[in-house]
Amino acid sequence: SAVISQKPSRDICQRGTSLTIQCQVDSQVTMMFWYRQQPGQSLTLIATANQGSEATYESGFVIDKFPISRPNLTFSTLTVSNMSPEDSSIYLCSVVGLAGGRTDTQYFGPGTRLTVL
Amino acid sequence: DQQVKQNSPSLSVQEGRISILNCDYTNSMFDYFLWYKKYPAEGPTFLISISSIKDKNEDGRFTVFLNKSAKHLSLHIVPSQPGDSAVYFCAASGGTSYDKVIFGPGTSLSVIP
């Protein structure tokens, strides 16, 4: 079955810096999403990564803080900009249309655990 | 406003017994429901789903029951195994993978050998 990978798997960053997280799928997918899971909380959708156009952001999330790119059907990046300790979370990408998977289901990458000091 | 609720943050069950995880939702527009399992340091893994046209879906040891009138669904695991120990997320959407999926807060299941 297809594989979803994320880089880095974890990072510790200083306040005010930015981190770019990569999501790579080994087959083309229809849709890609970015989620955040803050400590002790559930998964919250940040945005839908649209191939070749601007991402669609959920309420409470803005492009300046979380710029997203999706240059093709297998790859996306999420940048967490000007980080503060409140950004410490697990960031997850998910995809739809995964080869070998159900067409009606999102499949998740392993996540990136970010700690901001 | 939490649209998907899992009122039990944690559950402990003896190995071999049944685990029942509950989920309630408030949005009557939801018509597709999913359960994901998450181990520490891993992403959520899709477990089982159910469409609102059904009231039961079974896959091996896992069965999901949907009661639309009560806006309630449950996941049954029989028999429970130690490897089932994980956080289970209930999720709901408007019916297609293109719709926003709303996740519940999760229930941490511990299966005791």
DSSP track, A54-86: --EEPTT--TTTS-EEEEETTEEEEEE-S--GG
Kindly tell me the sign of the dihedral angle through the C-alpha atoms of A93, A76, A13, A62: negative
* Banded pLDDT at B97 (limits 50, 70, 90): low
In this structure, which amino acid lies at residue B15? E
Comparing CA positions, the residue from B10, B18, B8, B5 lying closest to residue B72 is B5
Do B104 and A42 lie within an 8 Å CB cutoff?
yes
When the pLDDT of each residue in chain A is averaged and rounded to a whole number, the result is 93
Contact list, B49 vs chain A (CB under 8 Å): 102, 104-105
Residue B57: beta bridge partners?
A: B64
What pLDDT is recorded for position A1?
58
Give the pLDDT score at A99.
81
For the segment B54-77, the average pLDDT, to the nearest whole number, is 97
Model confidence band, residue A41 (pLDDT cutoffs 50, 70, 90): confident
User: Does A11 contact chain B (CB < 8 Å)?
Assistant: no
> φ, ψ for residue B68 (rounded to 5)?
-65, -40
Which helix (H) or strand (E) element contains residue B47?
A: strand B45-51
How high is the pLDDT of residue B98? 59
What mean pLDDT comes out for the span A74-99? 94
3-state SS, residue A87: helix
Taking the C-alpha atoms of residue A56 and residue A68, their distance in angstroms, rounded to an integer, is 9
Q: Which of B43, B44, B98 sits opposite A31 (nearest CB)?
A: B98
Rg (CA), chain B: 13
With CB atoms and an 8 Å threshold, state whether B44 touches A92.
yes
The answer to whether A97 faces chain B, any CB pair under 8 Å, is yes
Out of A45, A58, A92, the one facing B43 most closely (by C-beta) is A92
Q: How many CB pairs under 8 A join A and B?
A: 51
Other C-beta atoms lying within 10 Å of the C-beta of residue B21 = 23
The answer to whether residue B95 scores a pLDDT higher than 70 is no
**Mean per-residue pLDDT, A51-58:** 90
Please compute the mean of the pLDDT values over residues B53-80 and round it to a whole number: 97
Residue A23: pLDDT band by 50, 70, 90 thresholds?
very high
Segment B85-102 mean pLDDT: 83
pLDDT band at B40 (very low <50, low <70, confident <90, very high): confident
Mutate which: A30, A106, A113, A115, vs B, most B CBs within 10 A: A106
Residue A104 pLDDT exceeds 90: no
pLDDT of residue A2: 62
Q: Letter for the amino acid at B98?
A: Y
Residue type, position A82, single letter: N
Do the Cβ atoms of A43 and B89 come within 8 Å?
yes
